[in-house]
Amino acid sequence: EDQVTQSPEALRLQEGESSSLNCSYTVSGLRGLFWYRQDPGKGPEFLFTLYSAGEEKEKERLKATLTKKESFLHITAPKPEDSATYLCAVQDPSGNTPLVFGKGTRLSVIA
Amino acid sequence: ETGVTQSPTHLIKTRGQQVTLRCSSQSGHNTVSWYQQALGQGPQFIFQYYREEENGRGNFPPRFSGLQFPNYSSELNVNALELDDSALYLCASSLDGGQGGDTQYFGPGTRLTVL
């Protein structure tokens, strides 16, 4: 049973064309929802942590929001250097603290 | 502040061999988690170490084992390598020790290829 589902799997945008990535989760008792950026062959780079519904965080062209069942990563006026895979993860509430990841959204921004 | 480092960067082994991967945690962090990432997939949790003790384990067989040292660096050992073990192995450090909600910072990964 998938706990974290990301959509779309892949997204191709023109430079400057804003869009949103979705992360839906089924775990209850969320301890934290995390967004990471991953370039090919490299480790995930931390972007945001969200803890409660209604919370929002921003960094440059990225803005992350959280509801009770999903999170959105909004990308405003993207540039080619924003091209990467964006991973969403939730913290397992079962007592240990591993991250449970979705499969990611591969974003391509074309100049 | 020193980030998470991993060694080696790449490794090629043959089926049945054993491998050891190494991770140095971020300065001030006491918890290390290991993940396996197959191509096109999200990372999968292997296990976590907090103050030299295993603090949780994912759905991986016992031939995956680990250690954490007094300086909080860590090793991942895999015995009897199988072709499906080919993946990017990621180490992440954090400061929560199992309390939850703390951010995990990842290293660059070790690419393991099993032939």
From the CA of B41, how many Å to the nearest CA of chain A? 5
Give me the residues paired with residue B31 across strands. B50, B94
Q: How far apart are the C-alpha atoms of B65 and B85, rounded to whole Å?
A: 14
Q: Among A97, A100, A101, A103, which would you mutate to test the B interface (most chain B Cβ atoms within 10 Å of its Cβ)?
A: A97
The reply to whether B64 touches chain A by the CB within 8 Å rule is no
State the best of A96, A100, A101, A103 to mutate against chain B, taking most chain B CBs within 10 Å. Answer: A96
Q: What is the mean pLDDT of chain A?
A: 92
* B59 Cβ under 8 Å from any chain A Cβ: no
Q: In this structure, is the dihedral angle defined by the CA atoms of residues A52, A56, A60 and A62, taken in order, positive or negative?
A: positive
| Token pair 């090793």 in the structure block, residue | B75
Cα separation of the two ends of chain B: 38
A residues 46-75 closer than 8 Å to B (CB): 46, 49, 51
Residue B85: per-residue pLDDT: 98
**Closest chain A residue by Cα to residue B40:** A103
pLDDT category of residue B91 using cuts at 50, 70 and 90: very high
Q: What's the whole-number average pLDDT of chain B?
A: 93
Residue B106, min C-alpha distance to chain A (Å): 6
Q: Do B101 and A32 touch (CB under 8 A)?
A: yes
Which stretch of DSSP H or E encloses residue B54? Answer: strand B53-57
Which tokens belong to B26? 């971020």
pLDDT over threshold 90, residue A3: no
Contacting residues for B104 by C-beta, under 8 A, at least 6 apart:
A34, A46, A99, B33, B92, B93, B94
Distances (CA, A) of A41 to A38, B12, B97: 8, 15, 28
Q: Do A97 and B40 touch (CB under 8 A)?
A: no
Q: How many CA atoms lie within 13 A of A109 on its CB side?
A: 17
Chain B residues within an 8 Å CB radius of A49? 101, 103
Average pLDDT over residues B85-93: 97
**B13-68: pLDDT as tens digits:** 999 999 999 999 998 899 999 999 999 999 999 999 998 999 889 999 999 999 99
d(CA B112, CA B11): 5
